[in-house]
Amino acid sequence: MKREIIANVLPEETRIAVLEDGQLAEFMIERPALGMAKLVGNIYKGKIENVLPGISSAFVNTGFEKNAYLYVTDVVSPSKDRHIEKMLKRGEEMMVQVAKEAIGTKGMKVTMDISLPGRYLIYMPKSEHVGVSKHIEDPAERERLRRIVDEFSRFARMPEPDRKETDLVRLLRDAVTLQEAGQPGVRLVAAIPAGPVLMDLDATMISQALTNLIKNAGEAIETLQEKGAPAGHVPEIRVEMTTGDAESVIRIMDNGIGLPPDRARLFEPYVTTREKGTGLGLPIVKKIIEEHGGHLALLDAPVFDGNAHAGAMAEIRLPRLARRRMGRNMGPQLAAQEG
C-alpha cells in the first residue's frame, strides 16, 4: 500500500491529509487558540485545590496559571454517592485530560474519563464498555470487532496468577468433558492419569488455556472439512498427559488442517488462519502458561491411523509444585477414555 501525507500549514490553521493508494483516508484540521498551543486531549497530573458542592465542581491545579475546572459528571469514582464532595477531597491527586480550552478568565475544562484515540480505536482505560461505531452496520462485523476488543482487553489486563495447590488432572478432565459436549461430531480420546497430580496453579487461568487449546483443535478439524476433508476422514482429538518429578506434560493433538509453514507467527497477536478468528487465543494461552513458569509449543501431530497427513499438536510443559507434601502427589495411572 502506498501511503502519502500532505500538510498545509498556515498561520491560522494546519491541515493534514493522509492518502492511501491515492485515496483520502484521513483529514485533520488544527486551529491554535489565540496563538497558543492546543491543549485539548493533553493529559496532566493534577491536584484538587477546592471542592465546591454548591456548583458540583472542583478546581484542579495542573501547573498552569489558572486552575482547571472539573464538573461532577467528569469524575470517575467507585463511589455510588454521586455528590462531588463524597468523591473528591482537597489535596487529592489524579490524572486528568483537557476537554475544553481555557477561555478569557475561565480555566480549561478537564475530565477524569481519559481517552486515547488511535486510528481505529479509542482506548478508555477507566471504562469497561466496548462500543462499535454506528457507521459499521453489519451485525456480524460488529460482533467480530467486539470479540476482538474483548479478547485483547483480557490479554492486556491479564492479572498475575493466583496460584494455589490444584489437581491438574481434574482441570484437564473437566476441560475434556466440556469439549466432548461442545463437539459432538468429533471423536475425543483421552489418556490422563487416574490419580491427582498437585500443581502450584491458578485454576481459572489453566482451565481457560486447556479449554482454548482443545477448542482450537476442533476448529482445525472444522477448517479441514470446509476446505474438503479426504474421503473416510474421521474427526479426532487426542489429549494425553504424562507427569514426572520435575514437570507435567500435556499434549493436545488433532487430525485437522495442520500448521502453516510460519507456525511461530501464530503466537503473535491478531495472526490467525481462520476467517472468524481473532488471532488472540494462542497469545493468551501462551502468556498464561509462561506466567506459570511453563512452555507452550506448536508441533506437527503424529499421523493418526487411517490418515495421510499430520494435524497439529499443542504441547504444554508445566513445572511441578516445588513444596509438595510427601505422599500427596500420586504417580500416574493411565486411564484411557474414548468419546
Q: For the segment 267-316, what is each residue's pLDDT rounded down to a tens digit?
A: 776 666 666 555 567 888 998 999 999 999 999 999 998 888 899 999 99
21-35, 41-55, 153-167, 278-292: range with highest mean pLDDT:
41-55
Compute the chain's Rg from CA coordinates: 28
User: What are the residues whose beta carbons fall under 8 Å from the beta carbon of 153, sequence distance 6 or more?
Assistant: 130
For residues 101-117, average pLDDT:
87
Between 297 and 82, the more confident residue is: 297
Cα separation of 316 and 174, whole Å?
17
Pick the CATH number of 43-111 from 3.40.50.2300, 2.40.50.140, 3.40.50.300, 1.10.10.10: 2.40.50.140
**Among 16-20, 95-99, 163-167, 262-266, the least confident range:** 262-266
Q: How many CB atoms lie within 10 A of CB 12?
A: 7
The C-alpha cell that represents 227 in the structure block: 476446505
Between 148 and 74, the more confident residue is: 74
Residue 299, strand partner residues: 313
Q: At what angle do helices 203-227 and 168-182 cross, to 10 degrees?
A: 30
In the chain, pLDDT over 90 holds for what percent of residues?
Answer: 44
For residues 151-161, average pLDDT:
72
Cα separation of 18 and 7, whole Å?
9
pLDDT, position 10: 85
**pLDDT of 152 above 60:** yes
Closest CA to 265 of 248, 286, 251: 286
Distances (CA, A) of 103 to 36, 62, 71, 108, 260: 12, 16, 16, 7, 59
**pLDDT of 176 above 90:** yes
Q: At what angle do helices 139-156 and 281-291 cross, to 10 degrees?
A: 20
Closest CA to 189 of 180, 199, 198: 180
Banded pLDDT at 136 (limits 50, 70, 90): confident
pLDDT, position 327: 42
**Among 191-205, 248-262, 271-285, the least confident range:** 271-285
Cα separation of 170 and 162, whole Å?
18
Between 222 and 106, the more confident residue is: 222
pTM of the model: 0.59
Assign 23 to helix, strand or coil.
Answer: strand
User: What are the residues whose beta carbons fall under 8 Å from the beta carbon of 77, sequence distance 6 or more?
Assistant: 87, 88, 112
Domain ranges in the chain are 1-31, 43-111, 130-158, 164-338
Banded pLDDT at 50 (limits 50, 70, 90): very high
Assign 265 to helix, strand or coil.
Answer: helix
Banded pLDDT at 125 (limits 50, 70, 90): confident
Cα separation of 103 and 66, whole Å?
11
Distances (CA, A) of 272 to 81, 143, 269, 278, 329: 45, 17, 9, 7, 38
As a whole number, the mean pLDDT across the chain is: 84
Banded pLDDT at 97 (limits 50, 70, 90): very high
Closest CA to 339 of 218, 198, 244, 208: 218
pLDDT, position 21: 86
For residues 7-24, average pLDDT:
87
| CATH architecture, range 164-338 | 2-Layer Sandwich (3.30)
